Chain A
Amino acid sequence: MTRMRELILHINGKKYASLIADHTTLLEFIREEGGLTGTKRGCDSGHCGSCTVLLEGRPVYSCITLAVQAEGKQVTTIEGLSGEGGTDGLHQIQKAFIDHYGIQCGFCTPGMILSAKALLEEKSEPTPEEIREAISGNLCRCTGYTNIVRSIEAAVKERLAAKGGGEGCPCKR
């Protein structure tokens, strides 16, 4: 008989309470208990990055994170991104991916966008190399990464312009 325990997780600022087995992964909790299907299962072994979510703002593979490890911490999934700096209920990074053709089949996209978000929180002006390194834990078979990197670079530029900083920005004081 598998021991069940009650677990409360905070996902995208909302409380999710469920009775789960100890071995439940964060991915299983998010998709099955939380009903949030934006986070994808690409490999279930921590190799492809489709399941990337942010745990306290840091990207983790939710498929190899136990749900209990997220107890008391903020979990952000793709559904938790909205509005910030963007339009039409889209986060600025989501809009950049759309405008710069960084999305084809879309399966890697949620994980990719969250990895990008974490990078931009950490570094306001990442180099192209730093961008590529940051998303090298997210596999993509459709895009060859070219437009994904362009999308992230565009998001960086926009962010800097909005903040009034960055090289060559006309609004720099």
Chain B
Amino acid sequence: MSMQKVVGNSHPGRTAADKAKGSGRYTDDLQLPGMVYGMILRSPYAHALVKSIDTRQAENVPGVLKILLPWEVPSKRYNCSGNPPSALLMKDELILTDHPLCLGDRIAAVAATSPRACREALQKLNVVYEKQEPVFDVMEALEEEAPLLHPEMGDTNLVKTIQAGEGDVEKGFEESDFLFEEVYETPPIQNVSMEPNGCICDASVPGKMMVISTSQTPFQERRILAELMDLKESDVRVIKPFMGGGFGERQQLHSQPVAALLSRETGRPVKIIHTREEQMVASVVRHSARIRMKLGVTKDGWIRGMKIEAWYNTGAYATHGPIVVAAGSRKVNYRIPHYEFRGHCVYTNGPVSGAVRGYGNPQLTFARETMMDTIARKLGMDPVAFRMKNHVKTGDHLPGVPYPLLSCAVDSCVEKGETLRRAIDEEDRKNSLWEGKSSQEKEAWGVAFCCHTSGPSSREGMSASIILINDDGSANLLIGSADIGQGSETILAQMAAEGLGIRLEEVSVTAADTGTTPYDTGTFASSQTYVSGNAVSLAVEDVRSKVMQGLAENMNLPEKAIAFQEGYFVVSQSGETLKLSLKEAVKRITFGAKGGIITGSSSYKAQEAPPPFAVCWAKVAVDQKTSSLRLMHIIEAVDVGNPINPEMVKAQVHGGVSMGIGYALMEEIQVDGQSQKVISSDLLHYQVPLAMDMPPVHVCLAESWEPSGPFGAKSVGELATVPVAAAIANAVAHATGETMVKIPLSGRFRPDVGLGRWQTSGKGRC
């Protein structure tokens, strides 16, 4: 229980009741007057040329208002990713294209008075395609004879090679007694937010545009759309309503440019909502990676050098590609004096890769943590002890990242997690005795360590906040921050309430509306707690100083007679102290002869991107005879600094664990070899974990404090999913004696739901 009144205590989300009642309005729940519908014709081929499109039959479908063809739309290329401008963002995408480069690429679009009319019109478009030879494999795409997918970008399918590191890795290997080298492979996976991408675009008034959309980055979208449509940012308004998840799926523009053009052409607002099939085929996937990793260690277990060369499949368009590659390279959690990273981002005709929870880190963490276990085994060292020996501490820097860590509570993570692990084993032993456990299964634990970031690791995170103090002492918090379900609006309101000495219920929040809230870089890189939180804290400080100033003026006192302590404005006057709540202070200040309105604001640019840390343990039971694999327990201990809302932090970990389980065991984009079509384009064939698939998940919060963080906090959103796949793979390796170098494991093992496992639900939690 926190000493603070609001921060550090758990509160259910501010909008939880709306969601429970079904009264929260998501993009598809909203209507604008005169609104019509849009739909996109998507390429059925991974690589083709569109020779002609006959629209005559389609035009006659009742309700059709406009058909847009690729040669009718601006041919300005853009980068769809919701990131601040960067030289690493290749402008290689067209709004509509007659040279589709992936299955699902946008070719044409239709606006009609109903979705049904749209669908009928699309079906009646007579399109003549000339199929082209596709290339799906990264290594093949780099060969001389491979088709050049983006001649406008250069003469190779290599988008960019990112290099990072420090020291001299060959020297490091010379200093090592043992060298380990392996190639690891990780698959592309879907984000699978439950709400499909959608937008409503109103460009019916010339010179202006309003967009309501599933967006993680309203301000980046405004910037890109304004440029695409030749508008001023002040005339473009992007609003994010209730949103059904994100995970990276909406950290890039989806159908907004098409909807904008259709709206301009029809003079009506246009709504485009993805079908689930579109979502599975045409929203971004996680970069699949082929990672060659070489590690050198001394015989007593010190890591001297690490060399990584990795190939990332970015698919048909680069989107975030090079940044994903760079970001992953900056998240090594061990002291490694000699480190060399080379990451190649490569175009193929595969699904477009973009932002997915973890952003390059899950891939490298899988490889690294699997190798760490291999090394520990070879050296005869305990896997946890080996990692702790080499782990960074406060004051160290991550390899290749020249900034010292201000907090690292991995010791607390290990202590709490190991205590819990022993308790679980004890409980399991008792249960198996009276259950008569089968001896065919081999049970084993696996562990993985990782770190992530709080805000972009390039230190470009920015946020601004405005606080309006109302005359009754309540506050309106205006933040550009986008809550995508993770609860950012709630914790930012908690920070404001704590800082102003008022209750959470006295803070209203307006967020993620570029017309009424100030800039926020976006909901990605796990920024909201740290970057947006610091912005809110600065705005709160601004409010407090203005209140103190106002009180001083009002009471004819010098400013130094007023202080803010433990939620109250303390006025020292002729030896006496007067304690005023915000409400009382505002009452004195606002109206009357010396009246004034209190408004606080801030602009915050991140100087740090403090890594949160996690340790994940997985317990599995493997039956080699039947190739079945049963997940028994997952423990994840996280160092998130000081948790602003502990239950919400744990809830984030639960969700991250489930995504990690999917990544490790069952999620796979399946493409039929013959037709080259995606088979897993629905939620039956693309398997995400169901309630029945989940083992008990136990979360521990480490004792920690980040000095540069708002109320000592760091992030958790992406961290939560990063170590899970490696922990599971390591557990399977312990159970079978065979290292897993490739995920998902569904190719090797059949996940077994395991009856009777839930007898002990709820036990053993931290």
Question: Is the pair B26, A144 in contact by a Cβ cutoff of 8 Å?
Answer: no
The residues of A that contact B26 with a CB separation of less than 8 Å are 37, 40, 107
How many of chain B's residues have a CB under 8 angstroms from any CB in A? 62
Q: What CA separation (Å) do A127 and B244 show in the bound complex?
A: 29
The 6 closest A-B pairs by CB, nearest first: A38-B22, A105-B485, A106-B19, A107-B244, A144-B658, A78-B22
Contact B654 A42 (CB under 8 A): no
Q: Which of B17, B29, B192, B762 contacts A141 (CB 8 A)?
A: B192
Contact of A101 among B485, B647, B757 (CB under 8 A): B647
**Segment at the interface with B among A64-72, A132-140, A159-167:** A132-140
11 contacts between A and B (CB under 8 A): A42-B276, A103-B13, A104-B651, A105-B485, A106-B16, A106-B244, A107-B485, A133-B692, A145-B658, A145-B694, A148-B691
Q: Contact partner of B20 among A109, A128, A136, CB < 8 A?
A: A109
A residues 134-156 near B (Cβ < 8 Å) are: 135-136, 138-150, 153
Closest residue of chain B to A99, judged by CB? B12
Cα–Cα distance between A90 and B655 once the two chains are bound (Å)? 26
Closest to A127 in B: B758
User: Quick check: A139 and B25 within 8 Å, CB to CB?
Assistant: no
Instruction: Judge whether A26 is part of the interface by a CB distance below 8 angstroms.
Output: no
Q: Is A29 an interface residue (CB 8 A)?
A: no
A79 at the interface (CB under 8 A from B): yes
CB-CB < 8 A to B25: which residues of A? 37
* B682→A45 contact, CB < 8 A: yes
Min CB distance A21 to B, Å, is: 9
Q: Shortest CB–CB separation between residue A64 and chain B, in angstroms?
A: 12
- Contact of A44 with B275 in the complex, beta carbons under 8 Å: yes
Most B Cβ at <10 Å: residue of A90, A104, A145:
A104
Cα–Cα, bound, A136→B688 (Å):
11
Contact B651 A101 (CB under 8 A): yes
B422-463 toward A: CB 8 Å interface, digit per residue (1/0)?
Answer: 000000000000000000000000000000000000000000
In the bound complex, how far is the Cα of B697 from the Cα of A41, in angstroms? 29
What 1/0 flags go to B174-197 for Cβ under 8 Å of A?
A: 000000000000000001111110
Interfacial chain B residues near A90, Cβ < 8 Å: 17, 20-21
Residue A62 CB within 8 A of the other chain = no
Residue of B nearest to A96 (CB): B20
**B194 & A140 in contact (Cβ 8 Å cutoff):** yes
**In this assembly, does B683 line the interface, its C-beta being within 8 Å of a C-beta of chain A?**
yes
CA distance A25 to B219 in the complex (A): 37
Inter-chain contact B21/A94, CB cutoff 8 Å: yes
Find chain A residues with CB under 8 A from B691 CB: 131-133, 135-136, 138, 140, 145, 148-149
- Contact at B651–A147, with CB atoms within 8 Å? yes
- Assembly CA distance A99 to B658 (angstroms): 22
Further 16 A-B residue pairs, CB within 8 A, beyond A38-B22, A106-B244, A131-B691: A40-B195, A43-B682, A47-B683, A77-B22, A101-B651, A103-B16, A104-B485, A104-B486, A108-B194, A113-B20, A129-B756, A136-B692, A141-B193, A142-B655, A148-B691, A149-B691
Select B276's contact among A44, A101, A132, A138, beta carbons within 8 Å.
Answer: A44
Min CB distance B635 to A, Å, is: 13
In whole Å, how far is B2's beta carbon from the nearest beta carbon of chain A? Answer: 17
